[in-house]
């Protein structure tokens, strides 16, 4: 971790520990200047897609395994439905992530073009809109006019101010294709965890009675680990995040198991 993200992480830790000296170091002019010159945060740009894609993968696949196990339909059915769900849902999630990112970026660019056109052709109206935004935020009339005067000195900066302050829109600089690939890969890897013992059962003698408890244990560990890893995004307590995700995943699997058990007669 480098650049702004490193300085921000140091500031967060200083706040959590009430360390005024560490906070002062994080807010020193040298640290701020250095952070602004470095290109940090690239390694964590797709962290959210990785974590949440993995969580979706393991929860949905574990629910399928639990449902089939509850219906007592056997290992072949678990593998067929589990793998079909894994790749179909993984592709669907990846496509959704790609299209969502792409659509947001296209919408942002369209709104940017509109604001740029309005700044060029109706500058007085755009200044009035921005003044109203600042007044609603609690600035005085003089302060609002001063802020608008500063923002409107350079057209690109002015348009960016309109996008952020008026529309509340920030540009998403992530790559849509990379978003989709990260989501797909993390979904497949994490979602395969509940199926590992059943796949091994094709080559080694593992009874179906033993396979399901092992799948539960592996899935529980993976759910807790992925839940705890959310702190890389949310900055919350890792134990609490891990337990929350374990409970959510457990409830989803429990519901699927009960439904499968109640409907097992349908399967013959």
- Domain co-membership, 51 together with 10: no
Residue 169 in tokens = 């829109």
The whole domain housing 73 covers 45-267
- Domain co-membership, 128 together with 49: yes
Say whether pLDDT at 34 is over 70: no
- Domain co-membership, 34 together with 55: no
Of 202, 253, 244, nearest in space to 224 by CA: 244
Say whether pLDDT at 83 is over 80: yes
- Domain co-membership, 95 together with 123: yes
- Domain co-membership, 165 together with 259: yes
- Domain co-membership, 231 together with 179: yes
Number of folded domains that form the chain: 2
- Domain co-membership, 102 together with 170: yes
Could you tell me the pLDDT band of residue 267, with boundaries at 50, 70 and 90? low
pTM of the model: 0.74
d(CA 186, CA 192): 10
CB 67 within 8 A of CB 256: yes
- Domain co-membership, 18 together with 65: no
- Domain co-membership, 138 together with 181: yes
> For residue 60, with 0-12 CB atoms within 10 Å meaning exposed, 13-18 middle and 19 or more buried, which class applies?
buried
Say whether pLDDT at 187 is over 60: yes
């Amino acid at each position: 971790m480098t650049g702004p993200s490193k300085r921000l992480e140091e500031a967060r830790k200083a706040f959590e520990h009430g360390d005024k000296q560490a906070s002062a170091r994080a807010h020193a002019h040298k640290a701020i200047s250095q952070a602004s010159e470095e290109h940090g945060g690239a390694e964590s740009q797709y962290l959210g897609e990785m974590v949440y894609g993995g969580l979706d993968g393991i929860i949905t696949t574990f629910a399928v395994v639990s449902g089939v196990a509850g219906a007592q339909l056997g290992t072949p059915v678990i593998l067929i439905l589990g793998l079909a769900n894994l790749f179909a849902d993984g592709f669907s999630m990846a496509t959704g992530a790609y299209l969502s990112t792409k659509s947001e970026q296209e919408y942002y660019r369209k709104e940017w073009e509109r604001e740029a056109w309005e700044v060029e052709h109706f500058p007085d109206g755009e200044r009035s809109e921005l003044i109203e935004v600042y007044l609603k935020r609690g600035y005085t009339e003089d302060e609002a006019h001063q802020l608008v005067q500063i923002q409107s000195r350079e057209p690109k900066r002015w348009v960016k101010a309109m996008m952020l302050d008026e529309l509340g829109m920030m540009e998403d600089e992530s790559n849509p294709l990379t978003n989709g690939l990260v989501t797909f890969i993390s979904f497949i890897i994490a979602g395969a965890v509940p199926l590992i013992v059943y796949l091994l059962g094709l080559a080694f003698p593992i009874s179906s009675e033993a396979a399901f408890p092992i799948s539960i244990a592996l899935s529980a560990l993976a759910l807790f680990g992925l839940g705890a890893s959310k702190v890389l995004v949310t900055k919350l307590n890792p134990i609490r995040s891990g337990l929350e995700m374990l409970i959510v995943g457990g409830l989803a699997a429990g519901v699927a198991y009960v439904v499968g058990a109640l409907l097992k007669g349908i399967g013959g």
